[in-house]
Amino acid sequence: MKRFTVISTLVAAVGVVSAILMTNKAESNAQSGNTIATAYSVSVVTANKQNISENFSLVGTINANNDVVIMSETSGRVVKVNAEVGEFKQAGSVIVEVDDELKEAAFKTAKMTYDKAKKDLDRFESLYKEGSIAESQIEQSRWSFQNAEAQYIVARRQYRDTKITTPISGIVTARPVNIGSMLQGAPQPSVVANVVDISKLKVKINVGEKDVFKLKVGDKVTVTTDVYPGVAFEAKIATISSKGDDAHTYPVEVAMDNSAKNPLKAGMFGSVSFRPSNSIENILIPRESVVGSTKNAKVYVVENNVAKLRAVTIGSEVGTSVEVLSGLKVGETVVVNGQNNLKDNASVVVRK
């Protein structure tokens, strides 16, 4: 009996000890498992303000300062050609001449009629002042003179139109007519030539609504081309349109002098580098720290080893970083790596 009691006591003691050990192990495992499940290792950056450059570049087409298609204002046969493609012509130079025999005759007749009507009017005005003729006679003389003058002006213009001139100084880039070609006047005038002035050039580009307000007329810009690598042409903004297109871009023209050393031609591509004078300081963070799209951006901010999900407003992209307009303060710690496994208010361990 005594022996049985001793054995029972030993068995009970072993059971108590085993229970205590199992309880301690469970607590230890629970604590260890909780730490692994809720603490995530992350890399962070500190949000700081930086000077953000407003510079940007756009590609546009280089155009001539003036590009004129010369049309015929008279009908007739071409009898003389005074310009070849590639030639430079001063403003007022005759490009082609049209047969003017009939128009010259009409002009001379109109001029003689005009001269006679003018002399008659001068004589009748003197007689009228003296009271020698009736008022109806002076009125008739005045009407005759005005009619003769109108016919003279028309005939003179038609005669002058037989010599087709260029209104601008420039290079002839096309001349589709030759001696013997028949030209038509209005309403469907014939094309005589195309003349371009490339002493000055214009680069036409479309600037987005976000950037157009950074620009103003007169701002200096730089133009580069693939034709002359490493050569930068100085230019300035000539015009900024007040009306945008369907893509919310605004036409901008950049004016520049053509270079004698490195001449450019109309139709080339040119890259325009804008350098707005105003610069701003704002918070920049790496692009990879942003959760979601930039339109609905969020970041994880670490406070006391806890990652808190916060909405932010993103502005411009600057290289591999993005500008934060609101939602973040200077000095706050932002998760830049490891946020894919995080949830709001998750515990984190910051990697050094």
| pLDDT tens figures, 281-304 | 788 889 888 998 878 899 999 999
Which pLDDT does position 52 carry in this prediction? 67
Helix (H, G, I), strand (E, B) or coil at 341: helix
DSSP class of 291:
B
Predicted confidence (pLDDT) per residue in 177-187, tens digit: 999 999 999 89
- Would you say residue 23 has pLDDT above 90? no
Q: Is the peptide bond before 187 cis (omega within 30 degrees of 0)?
A: yes
Torsion from C-alpha of 274, 275, 276, 277, nearest 10 degrees = -160
Which pLDDT does position 213 carry in this prediction? 85
Length of the chain: 352
CA dist., res. 159 & res. 74, Å (int): 9
C-alpha distances (whole Å) from 94 to each of 86, 153, 159 are 15, 21, 14
CA dist., res. 268 & res. 60, Å (int): 9
Helix (H, G, I), strand (E, B) or coil at 91: coil
- Would you say residue 21 has pLDDT above 70? no
CA dist., res. 315 & res. 333, Å (int): 19
C-alpha distances (whole Å) from 44 to each of 5, 247, 301, 351 are 66, 38, 9, 8
Which pLDDT does position 16 carry in this prediction? 45
* 350, two tokens: 């910051």
Which pLDDT does position 38 carry in this prediction? 63
Q: Which helix (H) or strand (E) holds 145?
A: helix 135-160
